[in-house]
Amino acid sequence: MIYDVIILGAGPGGYVAAIKAAQMGGRVALIEKEDIGGVCLNWGCIPTKALLKSARLYEEIKKSDFFGIDGIDKDKIRVNWEQMNTRKDVVVKRLVNGVTNLLKKNGVEVFQGIGKLQDKNTVVVGGQILKGKNLIIATGSRAVMPSIEGIEEAAKAGIAITSKEALGLKDLPAEVVILGGGVIAVEFATLFNALGSKVTLVQRSARILTNVEEELAEGLQRHLIDKGIDIITNSQIKRVQGKSVVLEVMGKEKICYGDKILVSLGRKPNTDGLEVLGLEMDKNGIRTNEKLETNIPGVYAIGDVNGKYQLAHLASAEGITAVENIFGQESKINYEIVPSCIYSFPEIATVGLTEQDARKQGYDVTISKFPLSANGKALAEGESIGFVKIVAEKQYGEILGVHIMAVHATDMISEAIVSMQMEGTVYDVAQAIHPHPTLSEIMMEAAHGAIHKPIHH
């Protein structure tokens, strides 16, 4: 028996590829050593969003008098961390069961265990030898525990943890030190701060979210500081001493304390066991082209393992693209239009070029910004922090990038993605009638601003 496709890893890249391949008439083997859904579904995207919803609701209840709701004794409000985690686990279990049933419904054969490669057409799992015409590597990534003095001992003691362990904490820590200023670090800082923990975030560079549009990142940093998060920038981690982290900041020693030290200093691709294939690698992972092909014919690599972006939605898109190419359809990923989302309070969502990158690439750009404070729905909901920024090419108005800081920014960014996918212009967005009152009107107003002037600002 020969499979059309064998897939290593059942995360958001692997399981989507498996379903797509089965839908296209292929015989598919999907191999997973842990849980269906991978990091995203079990220990990442979904569980963190479930907890962040609880944290958001907790914050809103504390502001009940602002919305004219009396009778809530705020002295009695408390965080039930155990119940929050129970709800999170229920959400995860439901989604995992849903994906498992989809795989079964589509006729995908799932093999539990570690897939050991003998060659590009042969994988051994649980004593069974699987033969396949094509191989998709979707083995994901894992958190890095860097070589810092004392961190190994702190990890063994359960003090230094990664995001995976953070989602399994039995108790809500009173004080947390977060090492790193990327997306995962900022989301956990938001979560723990909202639930009442004292949070210290340690960042090596001058600001958090160094890969995010500068104005957005700096705006969110100021807001997080206003909410009580201690953000230490331009710092160097010297060592970890039990529950303390010793830093060097501006040439001086500084000590931070936390019941838990959350290490969020990057992830590395899971490429162990793939050496037999002779894949070309770069510093980020397995090298692939826009069709997700590796240097070995019939072998594809999708998701975190190819190191392009560590994004679940891109992994899924890459899975579909790889499968379409396997079955003879010419399909490519446009890496210029990949959205990135941060589920902080408020959220951040971006797609395309920043103003700085657009200018570096030689574009004659026009920039338009519109604040949430001038949006009726935002004011009505008490969510007026943030703005949208459109980066457009001046002559024809083609949209090059959109950057949003707002409540529900992660939902609103899709309008920008579709517009850019169709090579749309600010004229198209401005002429599209947006419903009122909605937060989405900020896109229309910013588009008007790119042409001439916004109406309501």
- CATH code for the domain in which residue 212 is found: 3.50.50.60
Domain end marker among 265, 282, 300:
265
Q: What is the pLDDT of residue 74?
A: 87
Strand, helix or coil at 137?
strand
Annotation-wise, does 9 bind a ligand? no
Report, as an integer, the average pLDDT of 306-332: 96
For residue range 206-224, what is the model confidence (pLDDT) as tens digits? Answer: 999 999 999 999 999 999 9
pLDDT at 417 over 90: yes
The answer as to whether 340 is a domain residue is no
Q: What is the pLDDT of residue 229?
A: 98
Tell me, yes or no, whether 311 and 396 share the same domain: no
* Spatial distance between the Cα atoms of 262 and 155, rounded to a whole number of angstroms: 10
Tell me, yes or no, whether 260 and 277 share the same domain: no
The answer as to whether 357 is a domain residue is yes
Q: What is the pLDDT of residue 152?
A: 94
Tell me, yes or no, whether 67 and 121 share the same domain: yes
Q: Which of 313, 403, 434, 436 is catalytic?
A: 436
Q: What is the pLDDT of residue 160?
A: 96
Tell me, yes or no, whether 224 and 282 share the same domain: no
Annotation-wise, does 288 bind a ligand? no
Model-level pTM? 0.95
For residue range 138-194, what is the model confidence (pLDDT) as tens digits? Answer: 999 999 999 999 999 999 999 999 999 999 999 999 999 999 999 999 999 999 999
The answer as to whether 257 is a domain residue is yes
The answer as to whether 337 is a domain residue is no
Tell me, yes or no, whether 210 and 221 share the same domain: yes
The answer as to whether 133 is a domain residue is yes
Q: Show the domain range for 300.
A: 2-142+268-326
Beta-strand pair 244-249/235-241: antiparallel
For residue range 381-403, what is the model confidence (pLDDT) as tens digits? Answer: 999 999 999 999 999 999 999 99
Annotation-wise, does 271 bind a ligand? no
The answer as to whether 341 is a domain residue is no
Tell me, yes or no, whether 8 and 133 share the same domain: yes
Beta-strand pair 252-257/116-119: unpaired
Joined together, the tokens standing for residue 124 give 């051994």
Could you confirm whether 452 is annotated as catalytic?
Answer: no
Tell me, yes or no, whether 131 and 21 share the same domain: yes
pLDDT at 454 over 90: no
Tell me, yes or no, whether 119 and 13 share the same domain: yes
In whole numbers, what is the pLDDT of the chain averaged over residues?
A: 95
pLDDT band at 457 (very low <50, low <70, confident <90, very high): confident
* Spatial distance between the Cα atoms of 12 and 99, rounded to a whole number of angstroms: 10
Annotation-wise, does 141 bind a ligand? yes
The answer as to whether 333 is a domain residue is no
> How many distinct structural domains can be found in the chain?
3
Omega prior to 297 cis, within 30 of 0: no
Q: What is the pLDDT of residue 455?
A: 87
Q: Residue by residue, what is the 3-state secondary structure of 337-381? A: CCCEEECCCCEEEEEECCHHHHHHCCCCEEEEEEEHHHCHHHHHH
The DSSP line for 269-287 is E--TT-GGG---EETTEE-
Joined together, the tokens standing for residue 107 give 């006729």
